[in-house]
Amino acid sequence: MPQDPQNSKNGDPTQEQLDRRLLKGNIDTMRSWAEIDLAALERNLNLIRSALPQPMKYVSVVKADAYGHGILPTAARLMQSGVDLFAVANIKEAAEIREMASGWPILVLGPLLEEEDSALLEYDLIATLSSASELPRFAALAQKRKQKIKIHLKIDSGMGRLGAWWEEAGELIAQTLATQEIELCGLLTHFADPSDLAFTDLQRSRFQKIHDALPAVTRENLMVHADNSSSLLNLQKDSIFNAVRIGLLQFGVSPQKESLFSQLQVEPVLSFHSKLAIIKKLPAQTTLSYGRQHQLQRSTNIGIISAGYGDAIPLHCGNRADALIRGNRYPIVGRVTMDQTLVDLTDAPDNLEVGETVTLIGKQGDQEILLTKLAEDADTIPWELLCSITKRVPRVYTTNRE
């Protein structure tokens, strides 16, 4: 079981120590910033856990810098809240978590380059085995170091990406079980299109055939996972699956309505804000920004926001999305540029001032711009938008439990 860092005997940090490491910032000096509500993250995790039957394990996916939320602060709070395993994309992400605290299993979902193999033992990581070429590499390293390497074996049941193709997986499984230096800890697959129920069922049945062909003694101790929050439609008592991978749901992005988790009232964890840099009046018929994609039909007050696609505002949301100022909605006009975004403030109060907070994702008053709505306006998906929040945008964390 994961260790409690508050009572750890091997040097893990306490909650107070973890909180001190979080990025602190004075928003008065920031042009734009992302606020991360770690208390909401914890509430989401507890809500999701309550919906899972025991002994279903919680695999927390925190790849891509925890979907733009910041891997260290979010992983620290998730540790305090109690996850069973962290899943990351690569060695760098895994090392960041391991250097912060020991005791939590960490699964590297992506394939390793050969020069990265030694990190599996250095950081006590679990590798995802996807091909026969990886097995002798891992075995040779383990034999040299006189240690076992832990793996989850990935089956390609129809995604066409990582994993041993399901019809050819038997030979790799046999080789893995015969390799003493390798410890098989899990079996996983990845669903290509959870909204396509028929194809997902086909993938599930292919995967189950592979699982059922394993020796009974091997199956007993495996972590078996395929579902994420989108694909989990029910929790059958006789299911082979004993773990669920949770990514965006823990950060407050609800899955499709068919999902078991779609009714959970998760809270958005991230909000994005900027500031009003300039207010200017332009005459009717003036065209705005690159490409002249918006023409003013009247004399118009234009506000320039101190952020663009070089921060977090999607390039293609111009003339579609809104911004919130003083709890009111104002349309984004013209093409979004790298460093600035234009809004139509003609109907705003006369006393609106430079320096006021502009919200692009999140709440102001009784108004809210949802991440999913901004993604829709920008013809993208929420997780791409989150991962597009650049390094020049400070993350400001709130940590108080409610």
> Do 336 and 215 sit in the same domain of this protein?
no
> Do 246 and 292 sit in the same domain of this protein?
no
Quick check: is 392 in a domain?
Answer: yes
Range of the domain at 350: 270-398
Quick check: is 325 in a domain?
Answer: yes
> Do 246 and 111 sit in the same domain of this protein?
yes
> Do 240 and 297 sit in the same domain of this protein?
no
Quick check: is 357 in a domain?
Answer: yes
- The predicted model scores a pTM of 0.88
Residues assigned a catalytic role = 63, 290
Q: Tokens 């395929």 belong to which residue?
A: 226
* pLDDT for the residue numbered 227: 76
* pLDDT for the residue numbered 16: 45
How far is the C-alpha of 49 from the C-alpha of 43, rounded, in Å? 10
> Do 80 and 229 sit in the same domain of this protein?
yes
Instruction: List the CATH number of the domain containing 319.
Output: 2.40.37.10
Nearest by Cα to 123 from 98, 88, 154: 98
Quick check: is 261 in a domain?
Answer: no
> Do 241 and 314 sit in the same domain of this protein?
no
* pLDDT for the residue numbered 92: 96
- Sequence-separated (6 or more) residues with CB below 8 Å from residue 272: 32, 33, 34, 35, 312, 359, 360, 361, 362, 389, 393
> Do 241 and 297 sit in the same domain of this protein?
no
Quick check: is 175 in a domain?
Answer: yes
Tokens of 387: 């991962």
Domain count, the chain: 2
Q: How many CA atoms lie within 13 A of 47 on its CB side?
A: 20
Q: Are 14 and 6 in contact (CB under 8 A)?
A: yes
* pLDDT for the residue numbered 239: 81
Quick check: is 260 in a domain?
Answer: no
Low-confidence spans in the chain with pLDDT less than 50 = 1-11, 15-24, 401-402
Q: pLDDT tens digit string along 247-306?
A: 999 999 887 666 667 778 899 999 999 999 999 999 999 999 999 999 999 999 999 999
> Do 239 and 362 sit in the same domain of this protein?
no
Instruction: List the CATH number of the domain containing 87.
Output: 3.20.20.10
> Do 168 and 228 sit in the same domain of this protein?
yes
Rounded to the nearest angstrom, the gap between the alpha carbon of residue 90 and the centroid of all alpha carbons in its chain is 14
Quick check: is 91 in a domain?
Answer: yes
Give 287-323 as a DSSP string.
EETGGG-EE-SS-EEEEEES--TTTTS-GGGTTT-EE
* pLDDT for the residue numbered 143: 97
> Do 320 and 364 sit in the same domain of this protein?
yes
* pLDDT for the residue numbered 61: 97
> Do 208 and 281 sit in the same domain of this protein?
no
* pLDDT for the residue numbered 258: 64
